[in-house]
Structures are given as C-alpha cells and as structure tokens.
Chains A and B, each alone.
Chain A
Amino acid sequence: MIEVHEVSRTFPAPGGGVVKALDGVSLKIGQGEFVAVVGASGSGKSTLLFTIGGLSAPTGGRVAIDGRAVYEMDQGARAALRRTSVGFVFQTFNLVPYLTTLENVLLPSLLAGRSRAEAEAAAARLLERLGLGARRHHRPAQLSVGERQRAGIARSLVNAPGVILADEPTGNLDPEAASQVLALLRQFNDEGQTIVIVTHDLQLAEQARRVVRLRAGVVEEDRPSLGRRLAS
C-alpha cells in the first residue's frame, strides 16, 4: 500500500522565487493496483513518481510504503527500501552502458546481497521471460530501443519489489514496442504487481486500471480507467 498525504514539493525558480511542482497531493494506491498518472508537461507527474519512490524528498507532507514513512528513514534505510521494495523504469532506460544486459539486470540483486550465482539465475530467468535470453551478453548499445526498455523492466523486477514506478516507459518507443512493453506491465500487474506509470499518452493511460490526472501539482481527477469501467 502506498500512501501519499498532503505532499508538496517546491523547486527554486531560475529567476528567484519557487515553483510548486506538487501542491498538497493525497493518494492511496492499494496492493496490485495499476495506476496511470497523467497530465501536461510540468504538471508534477514525474516529481510525484520520484517522491513516492524515495528519490526526491517532499517539502511537505508524508509518503509511506507498506506503512513505513519513506522520508522519516535515514538515507541508508531509504536506499535499502529502493533496493527491495521499489523498482524504477525510465523513459530513457538508464541502462549502464558498459555492462551487459545480464549484468544490468542482476545489479540490483547483487546490491540486495544475493550471491552472484543466485542473482545471475534470477536475472537470466527474467530475461528469458521477457524475450531477451539471446541478448543477455549484449551491451545496451547493441539492443533495439524496445529491447532496452524490456531490459529496464527486467531490472526493475529482479528483486520482486512490491511497487514498480515507471516514468514515461513508452515515451521513446515506436507503437509496436510500446504495446509490447504495456502488455508486459499488464501481465505483471495481473500477477499481483503494483504498478504506477506516468504518461502523457491518454490512450495508454486508459489501459491502466485507474487514472490520476494532475494539473499544476494538484490532483484534478482520480477515476477508474475506461477499460476498468467497461469491465465492471
């Protein structure tokens, strides 16, 4: 369970003053939900995602994952939370360029204290499942963009975290690769994985189960997706 309570985040503005990226946002995201956060550029979507994931401390309010207040922990505990309970997927993939696909995927496992053999086995299983088994020894530059994003998803899942946070995961992909990635996310959600994605693509957002719309750092709308409404 993710609880976001009255969260605010301001940034210093270039010409002085402050920019309010989030302004009193409150949300509750239950176990196994698939939530799409939508909004125009600068509406605070990515800031909300990074704040939930323990990467960017809010200037006000409280964020908790499974009852643990993320920003009341020290940095070490918060890093441990990111290692074990949260997986990130990025628009630009953020794979380490000098590591192979397999090494990129097993890195979080090693950081979580697994042995190399265990980590390799888990990473290899995931890569097989995501159709990247034959690409495990390739470096990111040798993969297509769709493959890179699938490798990013594998990395986010390797420690079986409770929550996947995806920032514009299809933003850099062609339609075919985008639908493959989305299908994967839905598949993992169907297996009980909590997923929060940020997107400005409304069509994609409607394939989640719940849509949260932000405008100027404020929750403007929070509703079931059309697909969900149709199903119910």
Chain B
Amino acid sequence: MWMILRGGLRRRWPEHLLAAVVIAAVVAGLGALRATSAAAEAEVHEVAHRLGRNMLLLPADVEPADFYAQRYRGGLQDSAPERIKASPAGPHVQMMEARLYGNLEVRGRPVIVVGQDLGWPSMPDGRVPAIAGAAAARALELQPGSTLELGGRRLAIMEVAEDPPDGLDTAIFMPVAASQDVLGRPGELSAIRLAGCWCRVDVQTLGTQIEAALPGSRAITVASVLKAQQGTVEVVRRYGTALHLLAAALVVALVASLAVAGARRRARELGLLAAIGVPPGRLGGLLVLESALVGFAGGLLGWLGAGPVVRWLVGAAADAAPAPSFALVLGAAALSAAAAAVPALRAAALDPAIALRETAA
C-alpha cells in the first residue's frame, strides 16, 4: 500500500502542496501568536518587577518597554518636579528623582548618557563629575581620574561602577544640567521616579492626579501595569481562542474539500483497489493517512517557520519568547486526519462495481 500512498501523494502534489502551505501558514501564525503574547507578558512582568513599589513618570508617547530597553526619546520639562510638589498629589510624594537619558556615539561606541542629581561634588577645575559604567569604561578606556570630552563638556571620571543601577553598564552618569548640555536637550527630562508611602492612598488615583498636573505625561505603577497586563492577557486569550477555532475550521474545511475532490477523482482507482482485494477499511485508512501526512508536513513547515515569524514581529524580544509547541504539528496532522475521515470512509464504502462502471471511459 506504500506504493499507492507514495504515488497518490506524488500525483496530486500541487493540491497537497497548497494544503501544506495553508496549514503551515496557520500553524506559523498560531505559534507566533502564542510566542509573542508570552513574550509580551514576560516584558510586562519585567517592567512590574523593576518598578517595585515606586512610580515612574514618563512622557506619554514613550512605552515602558522601550524605556527599559534603553530606547530613549521624548521628554518632560524640568519644571515637572516643582509642579508635582504643588499638585494635590504632592503631599504623598516623599522622594522624587529626575533623570535625563540619551543615546550617544562616542569614538564609534554606543554610550548612554544619564543625567541624575546625586549630590555631586563641585570640581575646582570646571570639569563635570561623572561615573562610568564598567562596559563604557572598558570601551572608552576610562578609569578613575580620566577626563572625557563629551558634547563640549569635560567630564572627570570619579569612579567606575561595576554594577550600575538598572543594568546601565554602558552609561556615563553625570548631573542633570550637564547631561542636558551634552545631549543638547536643555530644560528636558526623560523620566521622574517617585517614591512615597502609598499605603494611605490609591496609587492609581495618585497617578491620575500627577498626569493631570503634567499634561503629556504618563504615570506607571505596578498596579496600572498589572491591570493593563490582565486586560491584555484577557483580550489575547479571548481572540486567541477564537483564532484557534477559526484556524481549525479553516484546516478542516480545506482538507475535507480536498479529500472529497480527491476521492471523486480517484473513484475508479479506489474501485480497482477494492476489486483486487483491498478491504474498505484499509482504503479509507489510506486516504486518511494521506491527509494526515499532508497535515503533518504543513504543520512541521509552520512550526519551523514560526520562529522567524516571531523574530520578524517582535525583533530581539523573540529571544525571550518560548518556542512554539510541537503539539501544534501533531494537532495539524490529527485535525487533517479527522477532517478527511468522513469523506475517506464514504469513498471507501462506495460500491466498487458502481465506481468502476460510472467512471469508465
């Protein structure tokens, strides 16, 4: 029977290829959906983890994921801390830390400039005190006591930080005013970290008050992140289930219609096989196996293709995405077999005498 199976697959290769490609696209799509939504969940968890009990204020058009991926853009005005203090939320804020972040290229190496007021010492020679992250120090050959010319300012490297905050290993830390000069963004801030005792106040309400005080800003709290995540996960789940059902229906419809058309075209061949002694069960099994193999091939193709699709959709975040489950491949094969079962068994049960006579030339 392998001869017949192989011959049948080879003879009808265009339609089998079409079915396999469609199934591959469906499986790759589902695999990519699962992987990207899992990657998105992981990213939100990471943001929530970093925020801890604090609140982060960002420009409204900056995504927290971009911010934590060190892709900096947009800005807040440096009057923002004063306006927060003066707002109804001000009394609840116990600590505010304004920062300016920016990406620069120094001697062909990417460097992050971080402006942050730490109570820097004043330098008698007019140089600006600065701390270099370990990777930045290695790349630019800096050590305590070195001087670095950056954006027209002379930076005195006070220290090399082996374990800088937020993993900013390639950063040069300096006062906010100096970073504004270096980056050419006077009067601008990238983010404000806020801390306080939030236990007597609803953190989300506080965030809303701060956003109202600073139009164009966005307050990110663990609560808001988690709430957004729950909403996103719920939507993804809901649409994901619908999408899975739709994909399954598409595969079933495609495979079943191909099985019906194939069985009709091969009626005489099936009649002949019955005449030379192939039992109906084996005939039906042959057609089902043929469809299952097409489903398996398509599923495998889609499974292999899902990784590149995820990478294309989410870029480097794909590294964190789990590999699509191989169950998708087995599912595609099983679904194809199930879809072909009824047409195959009906074709196999057809009276061979009728099949041979009706289709005779």
Contact = CB atoms under 8 A, between A and B. Distances in A.
A83 B276 contact: yes
B110 interface: no
A55 B276 contact: no
A108 B277 CA distance: 7
B361 A83 contact: no
A50 B360 contact: no
Interface centre among A79, A82, A91, A92 (most CB of B within 10 A): A79
Interface string A84-106: 10001011101011110001000
B49 interface: no
Given A96-B4, A97-B11, A46 B277 contact: no
Given A75-B280, A108-B277, A111-B277, A46 B10 contact: no
Interface centre among A46, A76, A98, A108 (most CB of B within 10 A): A98
B3 A47 contact: no
Interface of A is mostly: helix
A92 B361 contact: yes
A53 interface: yes
Contact of A112 (B11, B271, B277, B281): B277
Contacts of A51: 353
Contact of B275 (A75, A82, A103): A82
B272 interface: yes
Q: How large is the interface on B (under 10, 10 to 19, 20 to 34, 35 or more residues)?
A: 20 to 34
B277 A56 contact: no
Interface residues of A, number: 32
Given A53-B275, A55-B353, A79-B274, A98 B11 contact: yes
A230 B304 CA distance: 76
A24 to B, nearest CB: 19
B357 interface: yes
A112 B352 CA distance: 19
Contacts of B16: none
Nearest to B4: A96
Interface in A34-91: 46-47, 50-51, 53, 55-56, 75-76, 79-84, 88, 90-91
Interface string B263-303: 00000110110111111110000000000000000000000
A80 B8 CA distance: 23
15 contacts: A47-B353, A56-B352, A75-B281, A80-B279, A82-B276, A88-B275, A90-B272, A92-B361, A94-B269, A94-B272, A94-B356, A103-B3, A107-B3, A111-B276, A172-B361
Interface of A: 46-47, 50-51, 53, 55-56, 75-76, 79-84, 88, 90-92, 94, 96-99, 103, 107-108, 110-112, 155, 172
Interface of B: 1, 3-4, 7-8, 10-11, 268-269, 271-272, 274-281, 351-354, 356-357, 360-361
